[in-house]
Structure 1
Amino acid sequence: MGRAEDRRARQRGGRRAAPMRSSGTPSAGVGGDVTEIGGGRAAARRASQGRGKKSKKSGIRRLFTWKKLLGTFFGLCLLGIGAFIALYMMIDIPKGNADATLQSNVYKYSNGDLLTRDGEKNREIVPLAEVPKDVQRTFVAAENKTFYKDAGVDLKGTARGLFNTLSGKGAEGGSTITQQYVKNYYLTQDQTVTRKLKELVISLKLDRTKSKDYILAGYINTSYYGQGAYGIQAAAQAYYRVDAEKLTVAQGAYLAALLQAPSQYDWAIATDDGKKLAKARWNYVLDNMVEEGWLDKTKREAMEFPVPKEPKAAPGMGGQTGYLVDAANNQLAKQLVADGATDNLNDALTMVKAGGWTITLNIDKKKQAALEKAAKSQLTSKLDAKKRSVDGDVQAGAVSVNPKTGAVVAMYGGKDYYKHYRNNATRTDYQPASTFKPVILAAALDEAAETQSGKQITANTIYDGTSKRPVVDDGTKVGFAPENEDDQNYGNITVQTAMNKSVNSVFAQLGVDVGMDKVLKVANQLGMDTADLSAVPAQTLGTMGASPLQMAGVYATLDNHGKQVTPTIIKSVESSRRTVKLPDPIGDQVISREAADTVTSVLTGVVDDGTAKVSVRDNANRDGRKVAGKTGTSDENRSAWFTGYTPDLVTSVGLFGESAKNGAQVSMYEAGGVPRVNGGGFPAQIWAAYTFGVAGKNTKFDLDTDQGAAVQPTVTPTFTQEPSETPSETPTTEEPSETPTSEKPTDEETTPSSTPTTEAPTDGATTPTSTPTAPTPENPLDPNEDQ
């Protein structure tokens, strides 16, 4: 019976029942465990469930065995290999593509008249033997150290690029010199799976049938180096005024570095960051040469960066033409990136400059001529570098925009594209200064911001205009106390008067009351690039960089009642190879109409009773037109601005102090024979001479507001604090009169040029109830210190 019991117990999933004692209690088993008879049934159920689970697991294992998985993997590999072999057999090395023939681009005015053709491409093929061996190696060191050893492709990089293209992440580097040459000469810059597969096949075939020298020669002779130069010979002439055979290793390393980012690394137009990146890339190339044994370490350490020569413009690009063409090319390249033709701006520029485009600009021929005439009559004719060396350091830029369409109808990039390669209308390396103040007011109105005493901010709100008054947030000084122009005190004044007189201390406090994060948000919505800016009070002084093109867009959005205007220089684009659809320059409502119209109303006071009244208000050609605008002058007189508008035209004019010797930012004191170049001077004079000659007859703004200088005040000014106990030097609390006066305008303030503090203010609280009389020792920006 013992064996039978054991068998039944195993079937039940339990242990053998212990023999019963006479008392009926089961005895302990051999191991000391006690098993109840009733527990055997429960154990059997658990065992049955376990067998079910094992059965399911066994089914999954049978479906996904390692043999099946391995077989599937090898099957897919064989399928891929087969497909690649088929492609390899089908795809031959083609003739050079249409892009490689480098047709001319045609540029037209808005009415269809020819502006220019970009002429014959600046390109000359040179045999590789005429390029010094060490210079050849700079390109290999820069782009593909394994060039002399590989099979012409980087399978890992190509696979990564294919994956990124399929997943929508864009392209990624990793192409060999052979692949880049194939892309440049045989294919296109398009980032598509088909193009990448063709590139891979052709590169493999090319590497098998042609020598490495043939491929390298093709690569350096077809690549684009910037400044309209295609190929190493044109690049050598453009950047160093020598033939390719005379290039030094240091010069060759710079040209090789350029290929990664021709526009960004072009020394003539590079930003400070761009120059740092160009030098870093140059060092990278030379260090790789040392690593590969191609350059002696001692010679490498003795090398200095070879600063390129001042560029020369291509034929047919003199005067303003080159600036207009460059602006159009850059906008088209950005659009190609946006359309997904490529995710690389440099590749996009290569597509554009390869030729075959007919680009019609929004530039109005008559307005363009009028803007050029105004700049000459009001500025350049008054500059004489022989009498005053500083006159040679003055650069001007201007952009004029139709606020209803976003069309850039005129652009002034500088005195002459041949003489100054950088476009002053699109450069973003100078401070907009007080032309940023309307943005702060727009943010206050759109966000329905309140003073720190809890009252809503309007054009009639009164602030303390004492110079160097510490900015306060929630009763705490935030470490910022800006000085007003000439350290002038204004006492208790309205926001309207503070805008008219461009009072730093008022707008610094106003910015903190609104919240600097909200100010920068609105600035971005209006068209400024604020992505890398810190939300600190110093930004209220306009210490960021901006271009006349950007500021024209900001003010055009205000003129367009708060609907975003993105200035566009291109009207239409035609090409036999691709279709480009331009986005609508008029966007969404980014701030309320009431906020935008109130700012416009306030800005009429700057013209009628503020820093622009002599140049603009009293101009004999005004003809009754309503005008809104704002002046600005940065610290050390390095930039001066006037951005203004009528109901149908917005124009931003900027003057920039740029050393004629080295391109550094310099002061413009005494330029043109005046003590200081202010926004209300030359910039406003250029603006008025141009605008009053071409603006339409729409003389009045259609404003939806009951605030500001353009309307009669309907409320009594609201005090945000007790009046100062000590009278200021120039106290005023009244609203500016609409009736012109003979009062001499107050010069606008200068803006500190130092880097803004990184101390972030806390969210708004109350404006101080007393007027401090001394500056805070924590002030991070001393307006009198050149930092």
Structure 2
Amino acid sequence: MNSYGDSQSPRARASVPGSGASAPGDEPSSRPAPDAYRRGTGGRASVGAASVGAASVGAASVGAATPGRASVGNVTGSARVGARASVGAGTGSVGARASVARAAVRPGPPAPPGGPGGPPTAPSGKDKSKAAKRRRRTNILTAAAAVLVIMLGAGVVGGTYFFDDVALPPPVTEDQSNVILDSKGTVLAKLGEANRTVVPEEKINKVVEHAVAAAEDKNFYSHHGIDMKGIVRAAWNNFTGGATQGASTITQQYARHAADLKAISINRKLREAVIARKLESQYNKDQIMGMYLNYVDFGEGRYGIEAAAQGYFGKSVTTAAGQKNAITPYEAAVIASIIKQPYPTDAHAGYDPNYNLTDAKARWEYTMKNMLDMGWVTQDVYNKRVYPKVKPRNSDACKTCAENKPVGMIIRHVKAELLAMNISQSEIDQGGLTIQTTIDPDVQKAAEEAGSRNSADSPMHGRPKSYQAAVIGIDPKTGRVLGYYGGDNSSGTDYGGYLNGTGTEIIGGQSPGSTMKIYTLAAGLKEGVSFDSVWDGTLKRKNGTEISNAGADPGKICKGKVKYCDLETATIKSYNFPFYWITDTIGVPKVLEAAKAAGIRHIYTDVKKGFPNGEQVDLAKTDASTWSSAGYFDREVGFGQYRVVPLEHAEGVATIVNQGVHHAAHFIKTVKRVDPDNGKSSVIGQEKTDGNRVFGEAEMSNLSAVMKEIVDVDKRDLRNGREGIAKSGTWEYKEGSGDCWFVGGIPQLAATVWVGGATNKVELKEAGGGDMFGAGTPSRIWKMFIDSVTKALDMKQEDFPARQKTGDPAKFGNGEKPPEVPASDCAFAVIGLGCDTGQNNGQDNGQNNGNGNNNGNNNGNGNGNGGTDTGNTDPGTTILPTAGTQTDGT
């Protein structure tokens, strides 16, 4: 016996449990009853006292029941369409009388002519066609069986319950999986509880439908939806104390699913039968078969006929017979034969050939013989039958799933963007979406190989498990995220976007260090700051503390020009003091406004009351009044103290690479859904690639020219001499480095790399034991990533625009006037005066980051950067939310 009471014979029909939408409430009384239950006007129906015995049409009398008696009152009056019969409650006990009250049927208008599948009804009486007679006979038998079961079951329900109070549920909208593709059409992942693809019935190969009918219900196309033998058997077994029975027609199986009738009981059996009759009155056979095939479980987690055909044979049921790769009758019979019991149980191993080939073949033979008997295959096809080869069962690990793979992290961002496209969670849960992402497989591979410690070629390979990298590649001309590495564990922390597992909330970020200076420069250039402006590196903050300059020897800063260091040199060497004073001059809000325009939306304050990890500030929902308030941001925002989200930073970097034109970073190209009614695919969501200029062309060409020098100084020249721009950055932790960055790119690809601690911050060291800086491991990852992409995609070489110098050197700057040196006299060149071209080839940019004073308590009152001022620490010491004591750096 299977779990639904059917004997395990390959000749038996299956009882398939259903799960679907709950049945709705009663239909309106004005709704015409199905034609199968109609009666002409003027007739009278009466049912006499009933007990076990003979039944006669008209007044039905059955001998007295022992020890009590059950009587059904007369029913008088005209029966009208849609009228509700009123039946009194009955009680049954030994020695007592069980009575059913008089059922009064009010007169009403005659039934409308005709009905589904039958000829018009004569105006003056009943439809006398053979088909109508058969339907009426079926209904009478259903009613008789219902009454019989009621008697035997001691009043489970009232008789008219089965014709009026049992509502017809609407067709179930079957849940499907959502298919996520990369930009080339390869499956990245499948989401959803059900591996199902709904297909329109009219597109399903008929041989499949015939095979299913042969296996489950060979009389499907001739009966009216009810298995009378099954109903009587269920009643008899209940009366005799036997096991409840579950075998049903295809229509009954679908009725059970549609009405969510899960229990195996007499009540369920009768409700199932009535709903099946109503289904047959409202839908034709093809429609019912289509609904059934899209719902039924075919084993191995495959729901619906399309998933079954793809899973067992790698074919589609929508391929017409005779075409290449169309389902054969033999393959269709294999799939259909699984329905009876798709999964092994302790009692029986089921009919999935991958689990129980012997019984699967026996069931297949049964199905093939029925197909022959019903004329659905020819004798020749039957005689040549050979059991087809079935694809082996997949391992438990889904080969198309992204679980526990780096690419799985992308799925969070896909979910977030679906909701942002106003595609509701219920639509996502329903499934059936085909989502093409922006992810290029070659770029994704390059990101993973460059950033993952598991990659033998990565600069991260062999580093401690406490180290983590993130690599993000964006097309700066469209905002498409082409490659995204945010960690190896798809269910772990998203180190690229700090998006939680449901894709609904950003939960963290990292200090960008000197890479934040690109926005400070964008803001300054917009205000007229010149790269030729000079700044004094000896000036202290307004609270009297020194500004750290990456630990550089004050006597060697700017080659001894510390009191009149030009902004271009300071940018290349990543000194902090000009950026502190630029921020002070133009104001914190303008720096944040530039960052926001480029793509940064979320930024964190330092620790403050009520926010032990810092307060997350949404720049899109706040303004200068918040950003300038006490406890939020101080001038150190200009050189990267406050944490940002790497993905948002990557979007900002892409804006700089794209010469000031912003495109929103995104992971989805298109979202399509197939209409199950007509099979047509429609786009319900699409990317927006329109950009908007946020920074001037001239200013951006000026900035790019300086950032090109950083690539040269850091010795990160790209493959084949390709032109690139970059900025390094480091933010310290304790006595070393905690966050290290290298950002920039080429005209066709913006690349952002972060290296830091996994889970918790750690002091980052290079393989040789020295402190890690942005110009170290991160820059090597950056170069490897870009070189791999340009090679794989065979990108043509493109250059950045020619430099246009902008700004007024006299308008901004606080440096002393440099000593005048005769144009022909380079005697001072030995100390870096007079003949310095600004293109310094000294120490590596990142290597200048040392243990300079921290900026944490620079204002002495806790305002601005939120540092904790103990009053007893060394100048600049602060406690930050995720990094402890930190200093600024490159």
TM-score (norm 1): 0.50
Residue deviations 1:649-704 (CA, integer Å, cap 9, x gap): 1010111213xxxx3x3223336454222111121111101102323232421245
How big is the alpha-carbon RMSD for the aligned residues of Structure 1 and Structure 2?
4.4
8 Å Cα contact 1:110-1:364 kept in structure 2 = yes
Partners of 2:877 and 2:844 lie apart in 1 by: 33
Letter paired with 2:540: P
Structure 1 residue 442, shift from structure 2 partner: 0.4
Partners of 2:848 and 2:668 lie apart in 1 by: 35
2:529 equivalent to 1:432: no
Q: Which residue of 2 aligns with 1:470?
A: 540
Q: Secondary structure at the match of 1:691?
A: helix
Residue deviations 1:127-167 (CA, integer Å, cap 9, x gap): xxxxxxxxxxxxxxxxxxxxxxxxxxxxxxxxxxxxxxxxx
Partners of 1:87 and 1:540 lie apart in 2 by: 69
Q: Secondary structure at the match of 2:720?
A: coil
Partners of 1:717 and 1:497 lie apart in 2 by: 18
2:634 equivalent to 1:536: yes
Structure 1 residues 746 and 426, CA gap change in structure 2 (3 angstroms): closer
- 5+ long unaligned stretches in structure 1: 1-84, 124-184, 187-311, 342-347, 449-456, 472-476, 709-713, 762-774
Q: Which residue of 2 aligns with 1:705?
A: 804
Q: Which residue of 1 aligns with 2:669?
A: 571
Please, which of 749, 760, 769 is the counterpart of residue 649 of structure 1? 749
Matched residues, number: 454
Q: Which residue of 2 aligns with 1:597?
A: 701
Letter paired with 2:749: L
Structure 1 residue 591, shift from structure 2 partner: 1.7
Q: How does 1:601-620 map to 2 (within 5 A)?
A: 601-609=705-713, 613-614=714-715, 616-617=716-717
Residue deviations 1:706-752 (CA, integer Å, cap 9, x gap): 369xxxxx999996332699x9x9977876666x9585445254796
Partners of 2:549 and 2:591 lie apart in 1 by: 21
Structure 1 residue 777, shift from structure 2 partner: 9.3
Q: Which residue of 1 aligns with 2:762?
A: 667
Residue deviations 1:70-120 (CA, integer Å, cap 9, x gap): xxxxxxxxxxxxxxx99999998956963xx43211111112222232364
Please, which of 107, 111, 117 is the counterpart of residue 190 of structure 2? 117
Please, which of 432, 437, 441 is the counterpart of residue 361 of structure 1? 437
Structure 1 residues 559 and 383, CA gap change in structure 2 (3 angstroms): closer
2:686 equivalent to 1:686: no
Partners of 2:30 and 2:884 lie apart in 1 by: 71
Please, which of 580, 583, 592 is the counterpart of residue 520 of structure 1? 592
Partners of 1:327 and 1:753 lie apart in 2 by: 35
Letter paired with 1:687: W
Residue deviations 1:348-393 (CA, integer Å, cap 9, x gap): 45543442211101111112112222224897767999x98xx111
Q: Which residue of 2 aligns with 1:211?
A: none
Structure 1 residues 381 and 364, CA gap change in structure 2 (3 angstroms): closer
Q: Which residue of 1 aligns with 2:470?
A: 397
Q: Secondary structure at the match of 1:747?
A: helix
Structure 1 residues 641 and 730, CA gap change in structure 2 (3 angstroms): farther
Structure 1 residues 382 and 356, CA gap change in structure 2 (3 angstroms): closer
Structure 1 residue 444, shift from structure 2 partner: 0.6
8 Å Cα contact 2:544-2:858 kept in structure 1 = no
Structure 1 residues 106 and 623, CA gap change in structure 2 (3 angstroms): same
8 Å Cα contact 1:557-1:564 kept in structure 2 = yes
Q: Which residue of 1 aligns with 2:553?
A: 488
Partners of 1:378 and 1:569 lie apart in 2 by: 24
Q: Which residue of 1 aligns with 2:359?
A: none
Partners of 2:467 and 2:836 lie apart in 1 by: 36
More helix by share: 1
8 Å Cα contact 2:509-2:646 kept in structure 1 = no
Partners of 1:394 and 1:583 lie apart in 2 by: 34
Letter paired with 2:548: E
Partners of 1:93 and 1:639 lie apart in 2 by: 63
Structure 1 residue 782, shift from structure 2 partner: 8.2
2:655 equivalent to 1:557: yes
Partners of 1:320 and 1:742 lie apart in 2 by: 39
Q: Secondary structure at the match of 1:567?
A: coil
2:450 equivalent to 1:374: yes
Structure 1 residue 778, shift from structure 2 partner: 8.3
Residue deviations 1:581-627 (CA, integer Å, cap 9, x gap): 43523332112112222221221122123xxx13x13xxx5312221
Please, which of 522, 526, 538 is the counterpart of residue 446 of structure 1? 526
Q: Secondary structure at the match of 1:623?
A: helix
Structure 1 residues 528 and 744, CA gap change in structure 2 (3 angstroms): closer
Q: Which residue of 2 aligns with 1:546?
A: 644
Partners of 2:29 and 2:856 lie apart in 1 by: 60
Letter paired with 2:661: K
Q: Which residue of 2 aligns with 1:286?
A: none
Letter paired with 2:779: A
Q: Secondary structure at the match of 2:721?
A: coil
Structure 1 residues 555 and 378, CA gap change in structure 2 (3 angstroms): farther
Structure 1 residues 315 and 699, CA gap change in structure 2 (3 angstroms): closer
Q: Secondary structure at the match of 2:745?
A: strand
Partners of 1:94 and 1:748 lie apart in 2 by: 73
Q: Which residue of 2 aligns with 1:107?
A: 180
Q: Secondary structure at the match of 2:691?
A: strand
8 Å Cα contact 1:402-1:556 kept in structure 2 = yes
8 Å Cα contact 1:374-1:686 kept in structure 2 = yes
8 Å Cα contact 1:756-1:781 kept in structure 2 = no
Q: Secondary structure at the match of 1:486?
A: coil
2:839 equivalent to 1:747: no
Q: Secondary structure at the match of 2:535?
A: strand
Q: Secondary structure at the match of 2:531?
A: coil
Partners of 2:703 and 2:586 lie apart in 1 by: 15
2:801 equivalent to 1:721: no
8 Å Cα contact 2:473-2:482 kept in structure 1 = yes
Q: Which residue of 2 aligns with 1:502?
A: 574
Task: Tell which deviates more after alignment, 106-115 or 420-429.
Answer: 420-429
8 Å Cα contact 2:515-2:742 kept in structure 1 = yes
Q: Which residue of 1 aligns with 2:143?
A: none
Q: Secondary structure at the match of 2:421?
A: helix
Structure 1 residue 576, shift from structure 2 partner: 3.9
Letter paired with 1:720: N
Structure 1 residues 478 and 755, CA gap change in structure 2 (3 angstroms): closer
Residue deviations 1:185-229 (CA, integer Å, cap 9, x gap): 99xxxxxxxxxxxxxxxxxxxxxxxxxxxxxxxxxxxxxxxxxxx
Structure 1 residue 647, shift from structure 2 partner: 1.6
Structure 1 residues 743 and 121, CA gap change in structure 2 (3 angstroms): same
2:722 equivalent to 1:625: yes
Higher relative contact order (CA closer than 8 Å, sequence separation 6+): 1
8 Å Cα contact 2:710-2:726 kept in structure 1 = yes
Residue deviations 1:483-523 (CA, integer Å, cap 9, x gap): 12125322131111111111112211111112111111111
Partners of 2:545 and 2:593 lie apart in 1 by: 21
Q: Which residue of 2 aligns with 1:333?
A: 419
Please, which of 584, 588, 603 is the counterpart of residue 692 of structure 2? 588
Letter paired with 1:362: T
Letter paired with 1:677: M
Q: Secondary structure at the match of 1:392?
A: coil
Q: How does 1:79-94 map to 2 (within 5 A)?
A: none
Q: For the pair shown, which has the larger CA radius of gyration, 1 or 2? A: 2
8 Å Cα contact 1:104-1:119 kept in structure 2 = yes
Q: Secondary structure at the match of 2:484?
A: strand
Q: Secondary structure at the match of 1:485?
A: coil
8 Å Cα contact 1:321-1:417 kept in structure 2 = yes
8 Å Cα contact 1:370-1:693 kept in structure 2 = yes
Structure 1 residues 108 and 365, CA gap change in structure 2 (3 angstroms): same
8 Å Cα contact 2:657-2:747 kept in structure 1 = yes
